[in-house]
Chains A and B, each alone.
Chain A
Amino acid sequence: MSKDLIKRHTSLTANIVAFCRYLRTEGFVIAAPEEADALKTIEILQPYNTPETMRLALKICLTRHIGQAERFDELYDYYWKQVQKATDSKIADQKKEKQEQKPKPKGQDAQFQSLKSWLLGEKSDEELELHTFSATETLSKKDFSTLSEEELRDMFELIQMIARRLARQQNRRFSKHKNGQLDLRRTLRQNLRRGGEIVDLMHKKQQKRRLELVLICDVSKSMELYSRFLIQFAYAFQQVFRRIETFVFSTQLTPITDILRGSDFVKSLENLSERVPHWSGGTRIGESLAHFTQEFGQKHLSSRTVVIIISDGWDTGDATHLTEAMSEIHRKAHRVIWLNPLAGNPNFEPSTAAMQAALPFVDVFAAAHNAESLRQLYRYL
């Protein structure tokens, strides 16, 4: 918010316009039509001019979703307090107690920024807490902590491409087709030329249905470095694609779809740490996946589901559970994709017992450690 915005305006109209501008710096999407609405509203409300009605009316005009509606009252109070202060002291450009706030970046940018700051900002912590599977420690560190801005942008674009490709697979509309349901409308029009005698039958067919995505991320200790990155990945994914369910597991399975759906990433993370007490715990892939099939299988497994499991397969437990669960997932889902961050290492072999047990039921086994591997994922979908 720049200083001159809060200069004292003498008329109410000017004040409303300035207030709109102030909201704009706070990330509200307000252009001329919204300002016009606000002014019209004030005019309409002339007979009921109380501070409360004005606040309510402006709130209804200028907010567009719940997040904005929640912040509105505070911003409104703050703004008018500042105006008041400016009047009292007659000095419009006095220093404000509040630090200058940068305008919040919008939409895609916000996600991109949070993605970046998270990855870069948390770097030092991650270096201290390295608990990765030792053989690939250096490689993985390089993969994620040195991501350049370009690479990040790249990744975000990839996620969007993936989302778009998934979206395109479905169209519930009907299209002309050689055989399929009879299309009466087309039949009638076509045959009118023949004087109403039905000669040609036209058909239509429902186009392919859209796929659903189930993302199951391993957040155990051995995956710590990746899991943070992957939560970001899942978050970004969820922002652009809505038919996605996300779960995390270490020793147990937790659905986190609703948390990631929130528009504030930092808040989502807080909720996440609250919801997932087993973060960076041990690994029980088999039990977790069995839990998934039992509890959520009915709802989230169908011939339209693509299941993506992201794990290093580093599990010391019994593999029988895993075999059972994987075979069920494989049987019911459209496709099973296993992404293993360690697979980025050229020397990698999927030799852990869990990995061996799971592989027969996996349609696509790929690496997920950098932008290139995501590009591959795009090709598989």
Chain B
Amino acid sequence: MPLILTLAVRRTHKNSKLHCMQHDGLKKIENLLTEQGYISEPSIVMSIFLSMQLHKPLLVEGPAGVGKTEIAKVMARALEADLIRLQCYEGLDATHALYEWNYQQQLLHLKILERDPSVSKAAMESEIFGERFLLKRPLLQAISQPQPPVLLIDEIDRSDEEFESFLLEILSDWQITIPEMGTIRAKEPPYVVLTGNRTRELSEALRRRCLYLYIGYPEFDKELAIVRSKVPQIDARLGNQICAFMVELRQMKLEKVPGVAETLDWAQALAALHFDHLDKQIIEDTLGVVLKDWQDMRHVQLSLSQLLDKTGVVSKFDNL
């Protein structure tokens, strides 16, 4: 990889916007979260606040579907900054994360330049390795903005160790060297949110660079509040039963534990079907909305009656 990263330590940043929001900061973030329909917890508000104040990356871990990504969105709104997202996957490398040259255009442009004998080779080179042929990928985008954006590095644990250590360098230096162009340095480091759902242990070095927040599955009350806010047309009893059922369901040993997203899908589906309560038949018919794994499905179907007992959902049909 023709990528050279030079070391430099920069730790100065002044942001007047931040200073004035210091005093109502916590409240403001809480309001923003509520505005977005995000039912939050003190720990979430606090970590967003501290990450902005200390200007340190925030590492958010937790199972899928608990609203980790939302945090970056809220942060971007709180700072009135752009949101740049880098989705990680296995095999993600620097060309996808940093930059790439637009080869096709470069080649064509070169052909045009050749027609003109007055253009020197050096001029040719400097022209085709200019900014217009540079495809900026998220990380380069994030550091070349005039205003520091919010950079969301999603599912960092999906990328491999090599990328993680590469990222570590970027996170400490905030500069990228492109051999053909020179070094690009961020005026002010972006605000960074990293998310992960623990498919792999992240290195201690990366962790130490971040503030840490773990978001687990919501408690019954919180989940009910989420359901009520996102599916306002839902019957009160049905909402209660769905959330109680989900709490019990997550106690089971499942391959793919359903998240809040599944709860909402289910609530939406059942509300659209105009049900006002849960019973065994309804659950059996619609379980596919909640469970996405064949073995889980079988597992739950076999123990459905027990599950319903615990939940306190007693079907009138069961007693017939």
Give the B-binding residues of A (Cβ under 8 A).
29, 33-34, 37, 40-41, 44, 47-48, 52-53, 56-57, 59-61, 63-66, 69, 107, 167, 171-173, 184-185, 188, 192, 195-196, 198, 242, 295
Contact = CB atoms under 8 A, between A and B. Distances in A.
Contacts of B26: 48, 53
A188 B50 contact: no
Given A29-B204, A185-B101, A65 B46 contact: no
Contacts of A48: 26
Given A172-B160, A196-B113, A65 B212 contact: yes
A63 B46 CA distance: 14
B54 A37 contact: yes
B1 interface: yes
A69 B23 contact: no
Interface stretch (B66-74, B103-111, B231-239): B103-111
| 5 A-B pairs with the lowest CB-CB distances in the bound complex, closest first | A184-B103, A172-B91, A196-B110, A64-B207, A56-B46
Interface in B199-250: 200-201, 204, 207-208, 211-214
B169 interface: no
Given A37-B54, A37-B56, A64 B204 contact: yes
B278 to A, nearest CB: 29
Contact of A52 (B42, B106, B125): B42
B46, B100, B106 pick with most chain A CB within 10 angstroms? B46
B107 to A, nearest CB: 7
Contact of A41 (B54, B125, B204, B213): B54
Contact of B50 (A57, A69, A198): A57
Contacts of A61: 50, 211
| Chain A residues touching B, majority SS | helix
A44 B213 CA distance: 19
A69 B121 contact: no
B198 interface: yes
A238 to B, nearest CB: 10
Interface string B40-70: 0011001100100110100001000000000
B43 to A, nearest CB: 5
Interface in B95-126: 100-101, 103, 106-107, 110-111, 113-114, 121, 124-125
B61 to A, nearest CB: 6
B93 interface: yes
Contacts, number: 85
A57 B208 CA distance: 16
7 contacts: A37-B211, A53-B26, A57-B50, A65-B61, A66-B198, A185-B101, A196-B110
Contacts of A184: 101, 103
Given A44-B22, A195-B121, A188 B200 contact: no
Given A192-B125, A195-B114, A196-B114, A63 B54 contact: no
A173 B1 contact: yes
B303 to A, nearest CB: 16
Contacts of A65: 61, 207, 212, 214
A242 B201 contact: yes
B292 to A, nearest CB: 15
Contact of A63 (B91, B212, B295): B212
B111 A60 contact: no
Nearest to B216: A66
A53 B42 CA distance: 8
B117 to A, nearest CB: 10
A59 B50 CA distance: 11
A127 B159 CA distance: 46
Given A41-B54, A184-B103, A188-B107, A56 B208 contact: no
Given A172-B160, A196-B124, A60 B93 contact: no
A173 B101 contact: no
B167 to A, nearest CB: 15
B198 to A, nearest CB: 7
Interface in B119-174: 121, 124-125, 160-162
Given A63-B212, A188-B101, A188-B106, 18 more contacts: A29-B208, A37-B211, A47-B22, A53-B42, A56-B42, A56-B46, A57-B50, A60-B211, A60-B212, A64-B207, A65-B61, A69-B214, A172-B91, A172-B93, A173-B1, A173-B93, A185-B103, A242-B201
Contacts of B100: 185
B140 to A, nearest CB: 16
Nearest to A192: B125
A57 B48 CA distance: 11
Nearest to A243: B200
Contacts of B160: 172
A59 B47 CA distance: 9
B90 interface: yes
A59 B198 contact: no
A248 B211 CA distance: 38
Contacts of B111: 196
Contacts of A69: 212, 214
Nearest to A40: B54
A187 B208 CA distance: 41
Contact of A53 (B46, B208, B211, B214): B46
